């Protein structure tokens, strides 16, 4: 471990202040714990990101990855990570090709590209920290220009209990909280920070999680100045001053959160749109499935799964893509049968990429139970350009063969009652949607 990155000794009073910081952070609706770590969509996105990384590896092995970041499978998956709310904003910066510096040197150097692919493949296949660190040491020994610890964000989605997320704010937060001097761009320093993060996580495990995204979020919020770091020295007056600054910081953060919310689209929620689709499907005579991790969520005081089937039909539940299919936001099923009539992914403000991957898992999982299913990406009216831009990515070349449509919130709201009263089948819902394939 580099001497500069070693965690400084902290007195017990500092530990008490850190504990108070974590408590307040957990209760802050705008901080990363509640807004990202406990966010329902976060875990749903893990599978699609992992699948995206598998595609990166496959293309590198086949020699079809290409020589540019733009339009590559890597851009697709990193874009999905960058949409994981504020903690990963800007995650793509490290991967953008900088021609004057020739970094990161994995686009025009085939050997480096293959080494990067091996790192992702090897880390996806192993399950111990020792193996992951060995593979990190292996890529570090090659000294590939520009390929530094930013890759840890990819590894986090493969092993969230073993590798913490990484960015400038997290490093700044770690240094401020521990008195360490971790530097960006060094795998040695990253691994030293990882050891320190694991130590912190163990000491405050009752308030954090085995998933290192939680403590990564805490460090991000400290490093991005949402919270001031507690003083490192054992000084009662300094601790009292910190409490004052903490309250001031929380008040300012709350004001900014309310301003941002007022400027965004707040009149519709993900759960509300799911409830519309649930009620519409039931009115049209379908059995309805609500995503497994959303069944208990409330809308208007009623669980989203109210009136819906409790389990997927056996043929779907045992199909190759079952783990992904059960997370699709809403499925309309033939009454009393096993065929999927329509599938809906609600893309309120989340990564469109993840929803598309789940739909593809349904469409391409084999069999005739869903071959004729209508596939609908349901999003705010203003997101149509985002939806179409995602579908143009090479990773989604199979979309052209499938029945994909864009269903805007506005059209759904205006016509859902009339469709429920007078509609039948999918004719009306397709009439208010725009084909995407």
Interatomic CA distance for residues 87 and 151, integer angstroms: 15
Residues 6+ apart with CB under 8 A from 371: none
* DSSP codes of every residue in 117-158: HHHHHHHHH--SHHHHHHHHHHHHHTT-TT-SGGGHHHHHHH
Please state the separation of Cα 316 from the chain's center in Å.
25
Interatomic CA distance for residues 430 and 343, integer angstroms: 12
pLDDT for 11 equals: 39
Interatomic CA distance for residues 34 and 345, integer angstroms: 23
pLDDT for 391 equals: 75
Computed from CA positions of residues 178, 180, 185, 191, in that sequence, does the dihedral angle turn out positive or negative? negative
Q: Which of 375, 364, 355 is nearest to 45 (CA)?
A: 355
Bridge partners of 377, per DSSP, are 345, 406
For strands 340-346 and 374-379, give the pairing.
parallel
> Going residue by residue through the chain (437 aa), what tens digit of pLDDT does each one get?
454 454 444 334 788 899 999 999 999 888 999 888 998 778 778 888 898 899 999 999 999 999 988 888 898 888 888 877 678 887 888 898 888 888 999 999 999 999 999 999 999 999 999 999 999 999 999 999 999 999 999 999 999 999 999 999 999 999 999 999 999 999 999 999 999 999 999 999 999 999 999 999 999 999 998 899 999 887 777 778 888 888 877 777 666 565 444 433 434 578 889 999 999 999 999 999 999 888 888 777 788 998 999 999 888 888 877 888 888 999 999 888 888 999 999 987 656 777 788 888 887 766 665 556 789 999 888 888 877 877 777 667 666 677 789 999 999 999 999 998 888 889 999 999 998 86
pLDDT for 256 equals: 59
pLDDT for 195 equals: 97
pLDDT for 59 equals: 94
CA 117, 122, 125: angle at the middle one, nearest 5?
A: 130
pLDDT for 400 equals: 65
User: What three-state secondary structure class fits 434?
Assistant: strand
pLDDT for 12 equals: 47
Q: Whole-structure pTM over 0.75, yes or no?
A: no
pLDDT for 386 equals: 78
């Amino acid at each position: 471990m580099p001497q500069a990155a070693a965690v400084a000794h902290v007195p017990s009073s500092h530990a008490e202040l850190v504990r108070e910081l974590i408590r307040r952070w957990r209760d802050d609706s705008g901080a990363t714990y509640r807004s990202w770590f406990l966010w329902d969509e976060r875990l749903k996105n893990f599978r699609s990101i992992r699948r995206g990384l598998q595609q990166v590896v496959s293309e590198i092995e086949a020699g079809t990855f290409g020589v540019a970041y733009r339009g590559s499978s890597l851009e697709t998956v990193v874009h999905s990570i960058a949409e994981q709310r504020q903690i990963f904003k800007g995650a793509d910066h490290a991967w953008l090709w900088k021609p004057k510096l020739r970094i990161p040197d994995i686009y025009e150097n085939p050997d480096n590209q293959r080494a990067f692919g091996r790192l992702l493949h090897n880390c996806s296949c192993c399950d111990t920290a020792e193996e992951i660190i060995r593979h990190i040491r292996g890529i570090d020994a090659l000294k590939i220009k520009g390929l530094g610890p930013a890759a840890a964000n990819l590894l986090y989605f493969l092993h969230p209990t073993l590798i913490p997320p990484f960015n400038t704010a997290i490093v700044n937060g770690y240094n401020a909280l521990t008195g360490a001097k971790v530097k960006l761009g060094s795998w040695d320093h990253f691994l030293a920070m990882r050891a320190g993060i694991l130590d912190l996580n163990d000491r405050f495990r009752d308030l954090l999680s085995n998933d290192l995204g939680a403590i990564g979020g805490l460090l991000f919020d400290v490093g991005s100045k949402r919270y001031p770091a507690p003083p490192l020295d054992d000084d009662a007056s300094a601790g009292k001053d910190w409490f004052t600054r903490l309250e001031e910081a929380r008040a300012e953060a709350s004001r900014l959160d309310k301003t941002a919310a007022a400027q965004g689209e707040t009149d519709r929620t993900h759960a509300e749109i799911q409830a519309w689709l649930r009620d519409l499907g039931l009115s049209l005579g379908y059995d309805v499935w609500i995503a497994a991790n959303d069944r208990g969520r409330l809308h208007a005081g009623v669980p989203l799964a109210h009136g819906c089937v409790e389990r997927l039909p056996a043929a779907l539940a045992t199909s190759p893509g079952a783990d992904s299919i059960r997370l699709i936001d809403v499925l309309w099923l033939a009454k009393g049968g096993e065929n999927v009539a329509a599938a809906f992914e609600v893309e309120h403000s989340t990564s469109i990429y993840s929803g598309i991957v789940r739909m593809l898992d349904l469409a391409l999982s084999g069999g005739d139970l869903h071959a004729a299913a209508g596939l609908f990406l349901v999003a705010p009216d203003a997101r149509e350009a985002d939806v179409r831009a995602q579908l143009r990515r090479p990773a989604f070349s199979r979309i052209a063969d499938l029945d994909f449509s864009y269903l805007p919130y506005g059209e759904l709201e205006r016509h859902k009652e009339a469709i429920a009263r007078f509609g039948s089948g999918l004719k009306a819902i397709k009439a208010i949607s725009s084909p995407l394939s």
